Amino acid sequence: MTPRLSIMKFALFLGCVVLSTLAVASGNTLNSTLDEDWKNWKSEYEKQYTEDEESYRRMIWEDSMRYINQHNLEYSMGKHTFTVGMNQFGDLTNKEFNELMNGFRQDEADNSTEEEVDGEDDIEDDEEFEESDEDLKKATVDWRRKGWVTPVKNQGRCGSCWAFSATGAIEGQWAKRHGRLVSLSEQNLVDCDKRSHGCNGGWMSSAFRYVQENNGINSARTYPYEARDRNCRFRDDDIAATVKRHMRIRRNEKALARQVKKIGPLAVAINAGLPSFRLYRSGVYYDRRCGKRLNHAVLLVGFGRQRGRKYWLVKNSWGTSWGDKGYIKMAKDRRNNCGIANYALYPIV
């Protein structure tokens, strides 16, 4: 090939690249009618970007807005059982979001060992638990009403959902046994549970074992949350709760319903990887695409019905600006949607 021909081919290649770039840019033109909404959203969630980053984040945010509008239009037509809405995650791609916020380590959790519980067997409780399947179907449970659930917390930009799920379960059992609700320290777990990986993820049985082996956990007041990995600063002179052991629940929704009604709030893992979950606002969440690969840890605090639809009542750790004031109602008895019954456990305090 002659040098002249090579130069001509290279120039043609550059021209194609420029045209492709311009085509992409023209396809991602920002919607000026959303300028005020964008400004208000940045102010509400205290978002700050470099000049180069702002356009990119704005494009993602506008994609989220289009998704929200389309989904809610379809909801009004009866195609969905839940609504979505803009929140603090509107400027993240789904990949970024999952890497940042969903820190449940399923592979490591599956390789750990817990004692399995079948129905109501082996549960430490003073009351007899005899209930028919029909009674269970009609039941409504919300452990917030008993005062066994602390206010919604916020894990921030840290994959520590596993720690919040674990403390929530311990808080509930401690309140049940001792009559007082104490907010426990997720940071204590993030810093000190060396089986798990702090802000890079973990699992709840690891947290329970740490508290058991460490002879306790500090309160959130003593050891406040910082949303980052730090050195362990556990104080053994100010223990707020202890754990004797923990139990795992059999992998089906009937067993899960029996146990949450009998025991109290349970630590569970779910698949929270879809945009519909990231932007959930209200209603009973059901997405047929939601698989059973678990990536996020939450607290199951009850179950009930809304407009004839059965749901699990779930407390998340993404603050009150997400979802229904920090909660989500997830479809119950719909083939274990999002794998909610696949990894559920509770501590004995």
- pLDDT of residue 125 exceeding 90: no
* Residue 284 · residue 81 · CB < 8 Å: yes
- Band of the pLDDT at 134, cuts 50, 70, 90? low
pLDDT of residue 131: 56
pLDDT of residue 27: 47
Token digits for 85?
């809405």
- Chain-centre distance of CA 212, in angstroms? 25
Report the chain's mean pLDDT, rounded to a whole number: 89
Q: How large is the C-alpha radius of gyration of the chain?
A: 23
Q: What is the average pLDDT across 81-94? A: 97
pLDDT of residue 29: 85
CA distance from start to end of the chain: 79
> Does 259 reside within a domain?
yes
- Band of the pLDDT at 26, cuts 50, 70, 90? very low
pLDDT of residue 222: 96
% of the chain at pLDDT higher than 70: 85
- Band of the pLDDT at 122, cuts 50, 70, 90? very low
Token digits for 21?
């770039």
158 catalytic residue (yes or no): no
For residue range 38-56, list pLDDT tens digits in order: 999 999 999 999 998 999 9
Alpha-helical segments (H) within 179-287: 186-192, 204-213, 253-263, 275-278
pLDDT of residue 138: 72
Q: Active site residue: 102, 295, 316, 342, which one?
A: 316
338 catalytic residue (yes or no): no
* Residue 39 · residue 56 · CB < 8 Å: no
- pLDDT of residue 9 exceeding 60: no
Q: What is the average pLDDT across 239-257? A: 95
> Does 143 reside within a domain?
yes
> Does 150 reside within a domain?
yes
- Of 206, 197, 211, 97, give the one whose Cα is nearest residue 157: 97
> Does 191 reside within a domain?
yes
- Of 268, 277, 254, 273, give the one whose Cα is nearest residue 131: 254
- pLDDT of residue 143 exceeding 50: yes
316 catalytic residue (yes or no): yes
> Does 344 reside within a domain?
yes
- Band of the pLDDT at 19, cuts 50, 70, 90? very low
pLDDT of residue 28: 62
> Does 329 reside within a domain?
yes
Q: Active site residue: 296, 337, 338, 342, which one?
A: 296
Q: Is 2 exposed, middle or buried (0-12, 13-18, 19+ CB in 10 A)?
A: exposed
- pLDDT of residue 345 exceeding 70: yes
> Does 75 reside within a domain?
no
Split into its structural domains, the chain has a count of: 1
pLDDT of residue 116: 55
> Does 231 reside within a domain?
yes
Give 231-236 contacts, CB < 8 A, sequence gap 24+. 231/191, 232/188, 232/191, 232/192, 233/191, 234/188, 234/191, 234/192
The residue range of the domain holding 113 is 94-119+132-348
CATH code where residue 254 lies: 3.90.70.10
Q: Active site residue: 71, 98, 161, 338, which one?
A: 161
